[in-house]
Chains A and B, each alone.
Chain A
Amino acid sequence: MKTILFAKRNTKEILRDPLNLFFALGFPLVLLLLFYIINNAIPEEANNTLFSIENTAPGLATFGTAFFALFSGMLVSKDRTSSFLMRLFTSPMKATNYLLGYTLPLILMAIVQSCITFISAIILGLPFTINILLSIITVIPISLLFIGIGLLCGSFLNDKAVGGICGALLTNIAGWFSGVWIPLELIGGVFKQIALILPFYHSVEVGKLVLNGSFSSILPHIGIVLIYAIIVYGLAIVIFNKKMHDGTV
């Protein structure tokens, strides 16, 4: 009950900020439309499918979850600096209530965001298959990673610093190294090697492979994403708990 109440409060707090709504819903749609226009401008004889809706839709559905680091980070940071968390820590709420209350609404929002991206892609010509539904579910591990990064940053930094790190820096890193904006093959070299070490490219690949029905190839990619998600989210739990019990959150 306490978790649900806290999750409801967090949902309202996030969704009542128009800037959050734009980044959560509007920005991936703007990019989707942009890639659609670019794709249409490429002559058919070029035989270039890099910006086809089948490639960009799962990529943007995954990239869009990067903003959830910003949302969770800002929320925790503001709750901390305004002493709202201190007020709650004197209540009978327990650590699990906080962590689930912060995480569950954001995972739900990530799924909704992914649904909206795919519905828009269908309108723009993506053929509807049952794999789209499975592709939507694949955003959960990467969104957990981003939420974990937000919880970590929010536990230490003020909202301005969270805005810089989880907003500008992280979304750019996630965008460039995911291969959504520019395919990794076009750049190659060290850039590609770094991208292969990080989880962003792999999470996009999972979405694409599931959408194409190539389920047998997803294991190495989903494995890397899950390892990152478990480590970062696990670290966020440990740090949040420690700061909660030290009274330093």
Chain B
Amino acid sequence: MIAIETKSLTKKFGDVIAVDNLSLNIHEGELFALLGLNGAGKTTTIKMLTCLIQPTSGDAFVLGNSITEHSQLVKQVTNVSPQETAVAANLTVKENLEFIAGIYGQSKNEAKQSALKMVESFKLQDVYKKKAKVLSGGMQRRLSIAMALISNPKILFLDEPTLGLDVLARRELWSIIKELKKDVTIILTTHYLEEVEALADRVGVMAKGKLVASGTVEELKQQTNTNSLEDAFIKLSGGTL
């Protein structure tokens, strides 16, 4: 079943076309990595799919709901972990989690239970009562993703989830993301190609606002006649090997 379907999705900022006629399907339960150089249109695409901005033309359907006509329904089934950790610095881990659960409509008791569940899943027990601002970068990332998952989204957007993390914290986060794949459709943007190889079921490559290729890592290598994802990506992005 299709989780996300974009139909000629276009976003212009003045004369600049940030996303150009994007048509793509993402299937339920898969982890889809969206790749592209800076300014390729990834973030604008994510912003449209999460209803942060309206498309200039075209539309996208998230679990059948139009992002232009039923944004509230889309918001109820999606969540995002932004590039920055986006946590409330002076709130504790517990308070951050319960707050997000609450604004998605969970009762006080439900929010408490959900927070406990997230703390267990993300191994945040030791810092449960600590303020978010005193956590390490890795722990803040975990909290950020836990906050995105506490609303039980069907679709999760992870924008550069391991940016700035050390190798150990990155690997820990990878195993958490792998676990999530079973239950949630994930759209991942990253600049780390080894992350894509380790996690993604399918990959979409954007260049100058257009989707220039999509498929599994192996399919991209075959399409570009290259031996590595990095080479395939460089070729598809318009670079030279």
Contact = CB atoms under 8 A, between A and B. Distances in A.
Interface residues of B, number: 34
A94 B75 CA distance: 11
B128 interface: no
Contacts of B90: 12-13, 16-17
B64 interface: no
B237 interface: no
Interface in B59-102: 72, 75-76, 78-91, 95, 99-100, 102
A86 B52 contact: yes
Interface in B103-129: 103-105
A92 B75 contact: yes
A86 B50 CA distance: 10
Given A90-B78, A92-B72, A247-B47, A6 B103 contact: yes
B86 A86 contact: yes
A3 to B, nearest CB: 10
Contacts of A81: 84
B53 A246 contact: yes
B147 interface: yes
A85 to B, nearest CB: 8
Interface in B31-68: 47, 50-54
Contacts of A221: none
A34 to B, nearest CB: 31
Contacts of B53: 245-247
A12 to B, nearest CB: 6
Contacts, number: 77
Given A13-B91, A90-B79, A82 B103 contact: no
A46 interface: no
Interface in A218-249: 245-247
A82 B100 CA distance: 16
A92 B76 contact: yes
The interface centre, meaning the residue of B86, B87, B91 with most chain A CB atoms within 10 A of its CB, is: B86
Contacts of B83: 83
Contacts of A86: 52, 80, 82, 86
Interface in A58-113: 78, 81-84, 86-93, 97
Contact of B104 (A8, A9, A91): A91
A92 B105 contact: yes
B54 A245 contact: yes
A234 B220 CA distance: 52
A87 B145 CA distance: 11
A17 B89 CA distance: 10
Given A87-B82, A247-B53, A93 B103 contact: yes
Nearest to B82: A83
Interface of A: 1-2, 5-6, 8-9, 12-13, 16-17, 78, 81-84, 86-93, 97, 245-247
What 10 pairs across the A-B complex have the smallest Cβ distances? A247-B53, A83-B86, A83-B84, A83-B82, A16-B90, A247-B52, A90-B50, A87-B86, A5-B102, A13-B90
8 contacts: A83-B82, A86-B52, A89-B52, A90-B50, A91-B79, A92-B75, A92-B104, A97-B103
Interface of B: 47, 50-54, 72, 75-76, 78-91, 95, 99-100, 102-105, 131, 147-148, 151
Given A83-B82, A86-B82, 18 more contacts: A2-B102, A5-B103, A6-B103, A12-B95, A82-B86, A83-B86, A86-B52, A86-B80, A86-B86, A87-B81, A87-B147, A90-B50, A90-B51, A90-B75, A90-B80, A92-B72, A92-B104, A247-B53
